[in-house]
Amino acid sequence: MGNPWEEINLSDYENHMSLDSVYQLQALNAMMREQFAVYPVASIMILGIAGGNGLEHIPTEQVKLVYGVDVNSDFLAQCEARYPALTGILKTLRIDLLDEALQLPPAELLVANLLIEYIGYEAFQRVVRLVKPQYVSCIIQINTGDSFVSDSPYLHAFDGLDAVHHQMEEQRLTVAMREIDYSVQKAEERLLPNGKKFVRLDFARM
- Spans of the chain below 70 pLDDT: 1, 144-160, 162-164
Q: What is the CATH number of domain 4-205?
A: 3.40.50.150
Which residues, including other chains, have CB under 8 Å from residue 185's CB and lie 6 or more apart?
135, 202, 203, 204
Q: How do the domains of the chain map onto residue ranges? A: 4-205
| Strands (DSSP E) found in 34-150 | 43-47, 65-70, 90-94, 109-113, 135-142
Other Cβ atoms closer than 10 A to 96:
17
Q: How far apart are CA 112 and CA 127, in angstroms?
A: 10
Q: Indicate the residue type of 18.
A: S
Half-sphere exposure of 131 (CA within 13 A, CB side): 26
| Strands (DSSP E) found in the chain | 43-47, 65-70, 90-94, 109-113, 135-142, 182-191, 197-205
The confidence score (pLDDT) of residue 19 equals 86
The confidence score (pLDDT) of residue 158 equals 61
Q: How far apart are CA 56 and CA 87, in angstroms?
A: 13
The confidence score (pLDDT) of residue 157 equals 56
Mean pLDDT of the chain: 90
Q: How far apart are CA 26 and CA 43, in angstroms?
A: 24
